[in-house]
Chain A
Amino acid sequence: MNRPVSAWRATLLSLVLLGAFLGAWELALQGAGQGGGPAVDPEYAALVGQAAATGGQTPMPKPSEIGARLFQLLSDPFYIRGPNDQGIGIQVAYSLGRVLLGFGIAALIAIPLGFVIGMSPLLNAALNPFIQVLRPVSPLAWMPLALFTIQDSSISAVFVIFICSIWPMLLNTAFGVSAVRREWLNVARTLEAGTWRTAFRVILPAAAPTILTGMRISIGIAWLVIVAAEMLVGGTGIGYWVWNQWNNLSIADICIAILLIGLVGLALDRLLGLLARAVAWHE
């Protein structure tokens, strides 16, 4: 069953699927938004949108229109024209900055704390209920609390990233550390390695793949959260940009944002995937 598939055939199939999807989308919208109603007087028609003039509603944009808009946005991604009008590249950079800051702080706290929890079954049992209660809370639920207590919207956004991305790293680190083989620890003890030496030379390398998996889940969550957080807080970032284009009812721009968010998320995941491969070990 598990014959290796050739890469070019998989790519070809991907392209065919994409082409079929976009083609169907394009065709489905041919002539959409035409109300078929009586033509109104030209003065009225000039004041309303193309579709409304014939009694219809402005339709969903076609892929060709979205493509044209994407080209327009990407041809000048880094302009700054005032605080409310900045290029899409700048917005993505703002979001990445926030995510990396929140994720970075979360990693700095989660990994040492996870280490301690993993090495102490007592702490593990004591802290587990708190972690399990806080872990599934949605970022949107944290936001009002953060805004109220921190009273600074940009720090609140970073805080929400932090609080949402800390749990997978914490749990995975604790699990990885507690799952290190007994024999290896015994060998370390026989060789009279100190606590620190054991932690850094035995436990850390052994748990590294699990920790990296936690980080990989966390960065995905952080990137997921940023869009919601920025929509609420406003100002800058790709999430705010989505909200802003939603204000303008510009569905084409929202499709583009979805595409960009997906691509950046993929890139972040691949980056940590490479890192995970570097620390992986086989027996």
Chain B
Amino acid sequence: MARIFGNDINPCECGRTHAGMACDLPTDGTGAMGQAVEETILRAVFPDAATRRAMLTTFGAATLLAAIGDQLPLGIAREAFAQTPAAPEKRDLKIGFIAITCATPIIMADPMGFYRRQGLNVEVIRTAGWAVIRDRSIAREFDAAHMLAPMPLAMSLGVGVASPQPWSVAAIENINGQAITLANKHRDKRDPKDWRGFRFAVPFDFSIHNYLLRAYIAEAGLDPDRDIQIRAVPPPEMVANLRADNIDGFLGPDPFNQRAVFDGVGFIHILTREMWDGHPCCAFAVPASMPREMPNTFAALMRAIVEATAYSNNQANRREVAAAISGPNYLNQPQTVIEQVLTGTFANGLGQVQRVPERVGFEPFPYHSMAIWILTQMRRWGQLQREVDYAAVAQQVFLTLDAGRAMRDIGLVVPTNPMRTETILGKVFDPAQPDAYLNSFAIRR
């Protein structure tokens, strides 16, 4: 595998290299953990070192342990010890977030106690915009952060930052849950072919929103750089800009699509799940060094996040979650707006009530195929000017092993293959053939 980053990868004591991942120690009582338990027990039974050594040379460790095992349930002790999560190296953590529903698992894990249950004292800090999240993360003011899924890819590749900053996608936060919202005056222009000259807002240059909007526009035969205007606007300002007629629409995160409807400013043209069902949006990002430097904190954090993600994904919990996160400490929005986003029963701004329970989903597994699609789009629109080994970058940045382990720990089904064939805007994307996919587009840079 081509090494793309300069960071050293040291072999773990378990004898393997993990390429930036935490060690996957067995939890069944064998391996290093189990040996440590055996050694401790031998020390306890024969506290005098000389005696212990004499006994060990005479009988051998196996015989001795078997003899002790008659009196003590050694197997259980070994297993129990291996499964008790080791104490986190750092308990007090700061996690930055942007006040959008994509951040639901990161936020709700605080009021609903998911961090606390893992022995972590987490402060979730609302942040002003994506560039600020990026800068404060690089400055290590945050131990982990809510980011757009393409951001750690761009940061790791050194695109849009001064020097490469290796950050990883430890888990995906949400799938779907975005929409194109248009100003009310465009009620009759529902065909993107008629959108020549429109001014659109997206939250950030390195966002799934930017890539999806561009793909959608290009699919209609318009060039997203020449025929329309795309501006990066912080999500909260999208509704105000739409109202002031500064933009004609936006492909943005909720709750702002719903907020535009709530305030009578715009209508929901299309949900992004109709473009790419199951697309990634936001990610739970950590510094690439975290799994090595603080493996126990990282593991505890991952359990908390994955558990919170699974809880948020359950339709039965959505109202409760909406109530927990809509207050001033978190999203600071009317509760009905958050509820409509999370339950999928919503006013569309055109006088109808729609029922789309799959409007937003929360699934943590960071498929490599998602990363590869994002990378092809960074190439397609000229953000990434050089050739990269798509699969290698995806493997480095999207931590499927760690997310998978945390999912297994809490009893979720872990996908066996990190590569998935996706259907995006009616076109099949085979992650094994990214170049063929990229070359099939006429409109590109």
> B125 touches which one: A48, A49, A83, A249 (CB < 8 A)?
A83
Interface string of B121-147 (1 = CB under 8 A from A): 001111110001001101101000000
B329 touches A84 (CB 8 A): yes
Interface string of B345-386 (1 = CB under 8 A from A): 111010111000000000000000000000000000000000
B263 touches A43 (CB 8 A): no
Closest to B128 in A: A234
| Contacts A44-B352, A49-B263, A247-B236 given; does A84 touch B347 at CB 8 Å | no
B336 touches A47 (CB 8 A): yes
Interface string of A227-251 (1 = CB under 8 A from B): 0000111110000100111111100
| Contacts A40-B351, A44-B353 given; does A231 touch B128 at CB 8 Å | yes
Not counting A58-B262, A84-B329, A246-B236, a sample of 9 additional A-B residue pairs whose C-beta atoms are within 8 angstroms of each other reads A44-B352, A47-B340, A47-B347, A52-B349, A82-B110, A83-B123, A240-B128, A247-B332, A249-B263
The smallest beta-carbon distance between B147 and chain A, in angstroms, is 16
B263 touches A82 (CB 8 A): no
Give Cα A243 to B329, complex, Å.
14
Give Cα A231 to B135, complex, Å.
15
Closest to A82 in B: B329
A56 touches B264 (CB 8 A): yes
| Contacts A84-B125, A147-B135 given; does A249 touch B352 at CB 8 Å | no
Interface membership of B327, Cβ < 8 A: yes
Interface membership of A35, Cβ < 8 A: yes
The smallest beta-carbon distance between B103 and chain A, in angstroms, is 12
> A84 touches which one: B126, B264, B346 (CB < 8 A)?
B126
The smallest beta-carbon distance between B284 and chain A, in angstroms, is 18
B262 touches A248 (CB 8 A): no
Interface membership of B209, Cβ < 8 A: no
Closest to B111 in A: A82
Q: Which residues of B from 220 to 255 have beta carbons under 8 Å from A?
A: 236-237, 239-240, 243
B263 touches A57 (CB 8 A): yes
Q: List 27 A-B contacts (CB under 8 A).
A: A35-B264, A40-B351, A41-B353, A44-B347, A44-B352, A44-B353, A46-B336, A47-B340, A48-B262, A51-B264, A52-B261, A52-B347, A57-B263, A57-B265, A82-B110, A83-B329, A84-B124, A84-B126, A84-B330, A151-B138, A233-B132, A234-B126, A234-B128, A244-B126, A246-B236, A246-B240, A249-B263
Q: Which residues of B from 146 to 169 have beta carbons under 8 Å from A?
A: 162
Interface string of A44-83 (1 = CB under 8 A from B): 1011110110011110000000000000000000000111
> A153 touches which one: B136, B240, B263 (CB < 8 A)?
B136
The smallest beta-carbon distance between B308 and chain A, in angstroms, is 17
Closest to B327 in A: A85
Interface membership of B333, Cβ < 8 A: yes
A248 touches B332 (CB 8 A): yes
Interface membership of B99, Cβ < 8 A: yes
Cβ contacts under 8 Å, A240 to chain B: 128
Give Cα A84 to B327, complex, Å.
10
Give Cα A245 to B126, complex, Å.
13
Give Cα A245 to B128, complex, Å.
12
**Size category, B interface:** 35 or more
B329 touches A85 (CB 8 A): yes
Interface membership of B259, Cβ < 8 A: yes
- Could you say which of B126, B259, B345, B346 has the most chain A C-beta atoms within 10 Å of its C-beta? B126
Cβ contacts under 8 Å, A233 to chain B: 128, 132
Cβ contacts under 8 Å, A49 to chain B: 262-264
Interface membership of B73, Cβ < 8 A: no
Give Cα A245 to B333, complex, Å.
10
A55 touches B236 (CB 8 A): no
Give Cα A178 to B45, complex, Å.
87
B263 touches A247 (CB 8 A): no
Closest to A232 in B: B128
Interface membership of A200, Cβ < 8 A: no
**Size category, A interface:** 35 or more
Cβ contacts under 8 Å, A232 to chain B: 128, 132
> B240 touches which one: A147, A151, A249 (CB < 8 A)?
A249
Give Cα A248 to B124, complex, Å.
18
The smallest beta-carbon distance between A229 and chain B, in angstroms, is 11
Cβ contacts under 8 Å, B126 to chain A: 83-84, 234, 244
Interface membership of B15, Cβ < 8 A: no
The smallest beta-carbon distance between B179 and chain A, in angstroms, is 15
Interface membership of B411, Cβ < 8 A: no
The smallest beta-carbon distance between A149 and chain B, in angstroms, is 11
> A249 touches which one: B136, B138, B239 (CB < 8 A)?
B239
Closest to A235 in B: B125
> A234 touches which one: B110, B127, B261 (CB < 8 A)?
B127
B264 touches A55 (CB 8 A): yes
Closest to A154 in B: B141
Closest 10 CB pairs of A and B: A52-B264, A85-B329, A234-B128, A247-B236, A151-B139, A47-B347, A58-B263, A82-B329, A57-B264, A85-B328
A48 touches B243 (CB 8 A): no
Cβ contacts under 8 Å, B240 to chain A: 246, 249
The smallest beta-carbon distance between B202 and chain A, in angstroms, is 18
Cβ contacts under 8 Å, B330 to chain A: 84
- Could you say which of B110, B136, B243 has the most chain A C-beta atoms within 10 Å of its C-beta? B136
Interface membership of A26, Cβ < 8 A: no
Cβ contacts under 8 Å, B136 to chain A: 153
> A152 touches which one: B139, B336, B345 (CB < 8 A)?
B139
The smallest beta-carbon distance between B112 and chain A, in angstroms, is 13
A249 touches B259 (CB 8 A): yes
Closest to B348 in A: A44
The smallest beta-carbon distance between B132 and chain A, in angstroms, is 6
Interface string of A21-49 (1 = CB under 8 A from B): 00000000000010100001101101111
Cβ contacts under 8 Å, B263 to chain A: 49, 51-52, 57-58, 249
Interface membership of A281, Cβ < 8 A: no
The smallest beta-carbon distance between A35 and chain B, in angstroms, is 7
Cβ contacts under 8 Å, B346 to chain A: 47
Cβ contacts under 8 Å, A46 to chain B: 336
Interface membership of A196, Cβ < 8 A: no
Cβ contacts under 8 Å, B352 to chain A: 44
